[in-house]
Amino acid sequence: MCGISGFLGWGRQPADEQIARRMTATLRHRGPDDEGYYVDGPVALGHRRLRVIAPESGRQPLSNEDGSVWAILNGEIYNYVELREALLRRGHRFTTESDTEVIVHAWEDFGEACVEHFNGMFALALWDARSQVLLLARDRMGEKPLYYAELDDCLVFGSELRALLAHPCVARELDFTGFASYMRNGYVVDPHTIVRGVQKLPPGHLLTVSGTKTRLMRYWDIAFPRSERRDESEWAELAWDGLCAAVRRRLVADVPLGVFLSGGLDSSSVVAATASVAPARKLATFSMGFTEATYDETPFAREVARHFGTEHHEFVFTAANAAALLATLGHAQDEPLADPAFLPTLELARQTRQSATVLLDGDGGDELFCGYPTSLAVARTPLLYRLPGGVFDAAARIVGCLPRSTRYGSLDFLLGHLFRAAAHPPDVRTQILMGGFTPAEQHELLSDEARVACDAIDAYSDVAGVLADAPAHDELDRLIYHHAKLYLAGRTLVKMDRATMAFGLEARAPYLDHEFVELACSIPSALKLKGWTTKYLLKRMMAGRLPASIVHRRKQGFGVPLARWLRGPLRPFLEDVLHPDGLTRTGLFSPRAVARLVAEHIGNKANHASALWTLVSFELWREAYLPGLRWV
């Protein structure tokens, strides 16, 4: 795992190595072990390295035999040994054991189609000096980030926004399309970013630059092929074998390795698969708990750890831990992210880094196997939206009077979001169910000037664009596609990448192995949500392989007691960040509307924790990245 950056000039002026060094220096946290550069003619490549594979010989940038092709990599190519052997048979010569060297030789044989041969999580840049072509590529599911900006004089790229902002031609200006996307979703949907002129390369895409021409191309997409008729037990065994294969690929490392273990079904399944494919390996597991019992999953994680005899590490996250991290949160996010679980994930990464360098996690299980409450909402409540207007309004008023619970997936939690989303098309409803402000809520919170700017932007156009060509056969396939392309890529994986890389820790997600994704998406959706049982096939797969109490436990989610903390120990912080004077100076939000949310929440008249955290996360990011912003 590493950080990459660089640029390609359009003209004949040679690249400035000092700029490349400044850009790369911003990514030291991603690669604390080493740095390297390639600067020649119009191109500059910079690399910060975290030693995971071939620690002695894998220094980047790496080239082919004659030094005409150079590459830098953030991530891992898991099938690099097989590719290396195939390329050796085709006459290529290697000088290292690094997975990055495979990239340059694969380019020589396959051109831009080389990315189709890679099984891994990656963001890479490759420069071919002979053809004067720059290739940028991002892995299929979006585990690794890659930002770029097409400017008047050059194309600039990097693993994080901060690297691009270190280039003198990238301006620190707020992008209102990105801002509107953040407000509506709680994250900025690809390809937009929060900074004007900068874009994210979408998952499964590559970008080639030749001369002054750029070409963006999708090389892979999630598909839902019509599958052979199989019974439940056959599908369960196929899925288990696929998960074990994905885990086996991710165990390749020359450094200590463990598993993030929440105690939920997904991470517990990864532990079970690891124990199955590497029974002789002493496995370390890492869990984060809370003193608040309703949020604490450590008893379940402990049960799984005992079952498999892991070396278990357990930590507790408190409001004091949260307060200690808040001062650095704006910088750590790199781009605003309205996910309060980012805080305990940061702390878990910090603690884990003392014992391990590579961690496996369970990201992707909920998306691929219909694990979120939205699966039930989409599949089981279509009649709700067909109620006559008067009946619907009466039902909405009743739901509005229900006591508000913060418990993930509770009845009032689901019903409240269902009625909030009622006025929108189905795909937008799904997006609203996953978080963010509705247009009406956003309209109320913004200043007059910002409201005019945002009202001119259809922030849900990205959702419509993503879903327009979704290769789905039914509503659940469409939901899986929606969650994977938007929530997973835009929020969950961003959270994991930023939190782990903040401490030079590499996270690997077996569920996101593209071969496993292709297998999972060939399973009939009726086996993923059966009746009122979410993740039905996954539970069938793990029956007998995990304790029954883990297989059949209610989904909890990695929640944070944020509502309580914002009324208690974090209240001074909340009132300071969202103080009316500061909001007035910046000019984006309505001080009066925000003050009402704060007062109602602190007074326990309503639970506005999610809305307040969305505003707080943005303000912390803005102060770190755009401290001089004035929208007045």
Max Cα separation, the chain?
A: 75
For residue 414, tell me if it sits in a domain. no
Residue-wise pLDDT tens digits, 385-404: 666 666 555 665 665 565 55
Among the candidates 551, 570, 586, a domain finishes at 551
- If you write DSSP's letter for every residue of 8-45 in order, what string do you get? EESSSSPP-HHHHHHHHHTTTTT-BSEEEEEEETTEEE
Question: Does position 592 have pLDDT exceeding 90, yes or no?
Answer: yes
For residue 507, tell me if it sits in a domain. yes
Contact present, 570 and 319 (Cβ < 8 Å): yes
Does residue 507 sit in helix, strand or coil? Answer: strand
Any long-range contacts for 226-231 (C-beta under 8 Å, 24+ apart)?
226/473, 227/522, 227/523, 227/524
For 150, the domain range is 2-218
**Domains in the chain: how many in total?**
3
Residues 529 and 569 in one domain: no
Residue-wise pLDDT tens digits, 327-366: 999 999 999 999 999 999 999 999 999 999 999 999 999 9
Residues 206 and 258 in one domain: no
> Any residues with CB less than 8 A from the CB of 542 and at least 6 apart, and which?
265, 268, 269, 272, 550, 551
CA atoms within 13 A on the CB side of 427: 20
Least confident of 137-141, 234-238, 304-308, 531-535: 531-535
**Helices 475-482 and 461-468, packing angle to 10 deg:** 120
Q: What are phi and psi of 10, to 5 degrees?
A: -80, -30
For residue 270, tell me if it sits in a domain. yes
Residues 126 and 46 in one domain: yes
The sign of the CA dihedral 343, 348, 353, 358 is negative
Among the candidates 218, 253, 271, a domain finishes at 218
Element holding 290 (H helix, E strand): strand 284-290
Question: Would you state the structure tokens that stand for residue 233, as one six-digit string?
Answer: 């037990």
pLDDT value at position 385? 61
Contact present, 558 and 341 (Cβ < 8 Å): yes
pLDDT value at position 256? 85
pLDDT value at position 423? 66
Does residue 495 sit in helix, strand or coil? Answer: helix
For residue 433, tell me if it sits in a domain. no
Residues 174 and 268 in one domain: no
Residue position matching structure tokens 């006591």: 403
Q: Is 572 exposed, middle or buried (0-12, 13-18, 19+ CB in 10 A)?
A: exposed
Residue-wise pLDDT tens digits, 70-119: 999 999 999 999 999 999 999 999 999 899 999 999 999 999 999 999 99
Residues 542 and 623 in one domain: no
Average the pLDDT over 114-135 and give the result: 97
Residue-wise pLDDT tens digits, 489-547: 999 999 999 999 999 999 999 999 999 999 999 999 999 999 889 999 999 999 999 99
Cα–Cα distance between 578 and 590 in angstroms, integer? 10
For residue 482, tell me if it sits in a domain. no
Element holding 577 (H helix, E strand): helix 571-577
So which residues are the catalytic ones?
Answer: 2
What's the residue count for the chain?
Answer: 632
> 133 vs 42, 77, 207, CA distance in Å?
11, 22, 10
Residues 30 and 158 in one domain: yes
Find the CATH number of the domain harbouring 91: 3.60.20.10
Residues 84 and 214 in one domain: yes
Average the pLDDT over 173-185 and give the result: 95
Does residue 36 sit in helix, strand or coil? Answer: strand
Average the pLDDT over 1-11 and give the result: 90
Among the candidates 161, 193, 218, a domain finishes at 218
For residue 593, tell me if it sits in a domain. yes
List alpha helices for 334-460, DSSP H: 342-352, 365-368, 373-380, 389-401, 411-420, 426-433, 439-445, 448-455
Contact present, 217 and 210 (Cβ < 8 Å): no
Find the CATH number of the domain harbouring 294: 3.40.50.620
Which amino acid is present at 259? V
Residues 213 and 254 in one domain: no
Residues 196 and 260 in one domain: no
Cα–Cα distance between 14 and 18 in angstroms, integer? 12
pLDDT value at position 408? 47
Instruction: Return the closest-CA partner of residue 257 out of 287, 289, 288, 282.
Output: 282
Residue-wise pLDDT tens digits, 15-36: 999 999 999 999 999 988 889 9
Residues 106 and 134 in one domain: yes
For residue 426, tell me if it sits in a domain. no
